[in-house]
Amino acid sequence: MICIDTTVMIDFLRNDAAAVHAIDELGRDERLATTAINAAELLLGLYGVKGIPKGRVTVAQNLLLSTLMLDLDLNNRRSETGGI
């Protein structure tokens, strides 16, 4: 699982060639996710923005849905290691 930062997600939504390429490549072999903080930042930034291609919004939504999975995975690892 690879954690995608807010900046990369915003660049992806803006159709930045490097970000689109990176997410496309990483998403082929790895599950992409983000953190709850990154998701909140992205959601705040998405309100009122027009002209974002629907396919890009779908990818962003999937990353946001993966937030819970990443947080659960990290919490499980912490519990296995005694909170470390």
Predicted confidence at residue 68, as pLDDT, reads 55
The pLDDT profile of the chain, 84 residues, written as one tens digit per residue, is 788 888 898 898 888 999 999 999 998 888 888 877 887 777 766 655 667 677 776 777 776 666 655 555 655 665 566 655
Q: What is the pTM (predicted TM-score) of this model?
A: 0.58
List the one residue out of 62, 69, 28, 27 whose CA is nearest residue 42: 62
Predicted confidence at residue 67, as pLDDT, reads 63
Q: In the chain, where does DSSP find H-type helix?
A: 6-13, 17-29, 36-46, 54-80
Predicted confidence at residue 30, as pLDDT, reads 86
Q: Are 36 and 69 in contact (CB under 8 A)?
A: no
CB atoms within 10 A of CB 10: 18
